Amino acid sequence: MTGTNGRAVVAKRIDDGHPDTEEIRDLARAAGYTVVGEVTQTRTEDPALCLGEGKVGELAELVAAEGATIVVFDNRLGPYQTYNLGNELPEGVEVLDRFKLILDIFGQRAQTKKAQLQVELAELRYELPRAEAKASLAKRDERPGFMGLGEYDESRERDIKARISRIKDELERIEETEAHRRKQRRESGFDLVALAGYTNAGKSTLLRRLAEELDIDENEGLHPDLDATAESENRLFTTLGTTTRRAEFDRRDILVTDTVGFISDLPHWLVESFRSTLSEVYRADLVLLVVDVSDPIEEIREKLVTCHDTLYERNEAPIVTVLNKSDLVDAEELERKHEALSALAPTPVVVSAKTGENVAELRERIDEELPDWRRERLVVPMTDDTMSLVSWVHDHAHVEDVDYGNEVTIDFEARPAIVEKARAKAGELSPAPAE
């Protein structure tokens, strides 16, 4: 990203109310910038500049006074607005809108092939309407470079569309591989639990509480959580890829996956670009929707609605809402929020991933919500291969008892698919030959 670690001024316009710049400041810092000032305005959008002309002049003065190298808008800017704003600001100052900043952050954090492809797909979808605008204006006005948008290259629009198609095909192949891996894990007796929610809701901290063992990971050697001594960071987009850890419950083996965090006001094209990562949520046996209960009620409500819209569109697994960071609110506030959110989260689990409070209760709830296991008793002959079967059942199921006599009796609980496979393996055992 150009200008990373530079000085940034944030700007925001809203139609009515009071502009809140907390999140855009967090995003700018996540991108590596030092935020040195802000300009906000409440008014209808100016088609040419987003802000009013006078406010843009104020912005230019602040940028010059603070020596800023970039202006970050917490708005979606059209290509003409970006160009016009650049002309009003000191020379060399870059203008980014909210979504370009997010894409730049994604680009910094993308370390796996899958993540890099998803970032590139989102960037191309961001650029496509700008390329189409150049094409439209160039054809209409017959002036290459009209409005400073650059020379019109008729092939650029075609190249973007072709590249989008190729990336989608490559991501589909990656998804097929991951689907095969999920199937193998289920066949190995694992239940799959996904953590979903907004950035900084505490998902990574909760992952540590539920699954301390660093056993399985999608991005081995690349994810900060792979360092067992690493602290969970208060940082947006720490988890761009997915991190999967093994959690041992009393009678289950569970794989818990921490996925990319949602952020507010994402356009559909950006969410869709990361559909491959979200597939880890859509294909789980259980989703834990993690919410920061210390947020204001209205903000929590908005986030829950957005998450539900995203998750329920494709997700078939049960969703349990986890109200995290209970250590930051008192009992009275917690009760008030619990009641206010009852329609969206009727039976949430309240925890503090940081202190460990109620995590045991959450583990019980996870066990209750996951698909029921089946009880099975296998009676098999004692042969040279019988102990291999007993060992396999121990590895893939919860064994309650094994009785060794003339025959071997195994009592266990497991996922239905494991029960069927155990039966098939038992059927392959031949009785020992008579002496």
- List residues forming the annotated binding site for GTP: 197-204, 258-261, 324-327, 352-354
CB 236 within 8 A of CB 264: no
CB 310 within 8 A of CB 271: yes
Annotated binding site for Mg(2+): 204, 239
Distance CA 77, CA 97 (A): 6
Q: Residue 375 corresponds to which tokens in the numbers above?
A: 């009880």
Q: Report which of 74, 77, 89 is spatially closest to residue 48, judged by C-alpha positions.
A: 77
- 10 residue type, one letter: V
* CA pair distance 60, 89, nearest whole angstrom: 5
Alpha carbon distance 373, 366 (integer Å): 13
- Beta bridge partner(s), residue 289: 196, 321
Element (H, E) at 208: helix 203-210
Q: In sequence order, what E strands does 233-362 have?
A: 243-248, 253-258, 286-292, 319-324, 349-350
Tokens of 127: 């650029």
Question: Per 3-state DSSP, what percentage of the chain is helix, strand, and coil (rounded to 5)?
Answer: 45, 20, 35
Cα angle 240, 27, 353 (rounded to 5 degrees) comes to 60
d(CA 13, CA 314): 34
Beta-ladder partners of 7 = 34
- 3-state SS class at 234: coil
Strands 253-258 and 190-197: parallel
Residue located via tokens 């004692």: 382
Q: Which parts are annotated binding residues?
A: 197-204, 239, 258-261, 324-327, 352-354
Q: Which of 65, 56, 67, 66 has the alpha carbon at shortest distance from 89?
A: 56
Count of positions (residues) in the chain:
435
Q: With contact defined as beta carbons under 8 Å apart, do 253 and 370 qualify?
A: no
Question: Comparing C-alpha atoms, which of 178, 179, 183, 185 is closest to residue 396?
Answer: 185
Query: Of 29, 24, 8, 5, which is closest to residue 94 (Cα–Cα)?
Result: 8
